Amino acid sequence: MPAASNLVDLRELAVRLAIAAGEELLARQRSLSIDAAGVETKSSANDPVSAADRASEKLIVDGLTAARPGDGLLGEEGASRVSSTGLTWVIDPLDGTVNYLYGRLDWSVSIAVEDENGALVGVVHQPRTGTTWSAVRDAGAFRDDQRLGSLRHTPLESALVATGFSYLPDRRAEQAALLQDLLPVVRDIRRGGSAALDLCSVADRTADAYYEHLIQPWDVAAGALIAREVGAVVVRGPVFPQGILAAAPSVAAPLQELLTRRSA
């Protein structure tokens, strides 16, 4: 693991690039919309990608390449470089593209740097509110300059649970079936539209849990570290092979039990 001073430098680099990418995205949002020419689709007709997503990734990749040419890269819009330092940057240049293209506020830039043990530093920036969440492994999580405190003790029946839905119709049908079991036994459900912000909402106590069944590394690399650093239980791996559950400890076990029972 790099020395603490280097971790601070890595965090500052990630914050600087996330804010710069956010400015680029803000400048473009007013002139873009979901039905604009040039908005293409990826995994399904409802999975858009725009020139703004690509411009944001280019800005971040150029900045990382200038500052840390030996580090690896993994970006949603195609950035890929093998690491010669043991560190790899995992980038979602615009998380919440649908919200962005509808002119909404809830989209973000997500940047993490990982070593062989997972995320070392994570930064999620929400340009429309100017809020930046960040964390360094074993050193806590912050919203701007404010250190985030511990999570509330909530039973499942009082939990506000965030989730997200796949772009793939068949998978959505399964997710809807699961919601039929979940909705009656929790306080309520939220579908924010940015996985990175959903994870920050768990860290921030504006939700008690977040889960999603089909998620990519760049969606969650930074936010999962931020949630974990305030004491959230974050489950991936064998239980949710392609998904994630992040929850306050009091909610994690009953929610995990319900989700795995229903998904079995």
Q: Tell me the closest approach of the beta carbon of residue 97 to Ca ion, in angstroms.
A: 5
Residue number, 95 or 204, with CB nearest to Ca ion: 95
Residue with Cβ nearer ligand IPD (110 or 256): 110
Per partner kind, with CB cut-offs from 5 to 8 A, the member of Ca ion, ligand IPD, none near residue 193 is: ligand IPD
Asked if 97 is part of the footprint of ligand IPD (rule: CB under 6 A), the reply reads yes
Does 57 engage in binding with ligand IPD (CB under 6 A)?
Answer: no
Q: How far is the CB of 219 from ligand IPD (least distance, A)?
A: 5
Q: Residue type at 117?
A: N
Crossing angle for the helix pair 249-263 and 169-182, to the nearest 10 degrees: 120
Residue 63 C-beta: closest distance to ligand IPD, Å: 20
Identity of the residue, 47 or 115, whose beta carbon is nearer to ligand IPD in the bound complex: 47
Using rule CB under 5 A, residue 92 touches Ca ion: yes
Give me the DSSP letters along 179-239: HHHHGGGSSEEE--S-HHHHHHHHHHTS-SEEEESS--HHHHHHHHHHHHHTT-EEE-TTT
Query: Is residue 164 within the footprint of ligand IPD (CB under 6 A)?
Result: yes
Does 212 bind Ca ion (CB under 5 A)? Our answer is: no
| Rounded distance between C-alpha atoms, residue 264 and residue 262, angstroms | 6
Q: Sign (positive/negative) of CA torsion 218, 22, 139, 74?
A: positive
Helices (H) and strands (E) in the chain, counts: 7, 15
Which parts of 181-210 interact with ligand IPD (CB under 6 A)? 193-195
Residues constituting the chain: 264
Q: Which does 215 bind (CB under 5 to 8 A by kind): Ca ion, ligand IPD, none?
A: ligand IPD
Please give the Cα distance from 164 to 212 (Å, whole number): 5
Give the nearer residue to ligand IPD in terms of CB position, either 29 or 97: 97
Q: Give the pair of three-digit tokens for residue 4.
A: 């603490």
Q: Shortest Cβ distance from residue 252 to Ca ion (Å)?
A: 23
Amino acid at 24: E
Rounded-to-integer distance, Cα 132 and Cα 147, Å: 12
Q: Does 75 bind ligand IPD (CB under 6 A)?
A: no
Q: Order of strands across the sheet with 244-247?
A: 188-190, 160-163, 209-212, 244-247, 233-235
154 binding ligand IPD? (CB under 6 A): no
Nearer Cβ to ligand IPD (44/260): 44
212 interacts with, out of Ca ion, ligand IPD, none, CB within 5 to 8 A per kind: ligand IPD
- Footprint of ligand IPD on this chain (CB under 6 A)? 92, 95-97, 164-165, 193-195, 212, 215, 219
- Footprint of Ca ion on this chain (CB under 5 A)? 76, 92, 94-95, 219
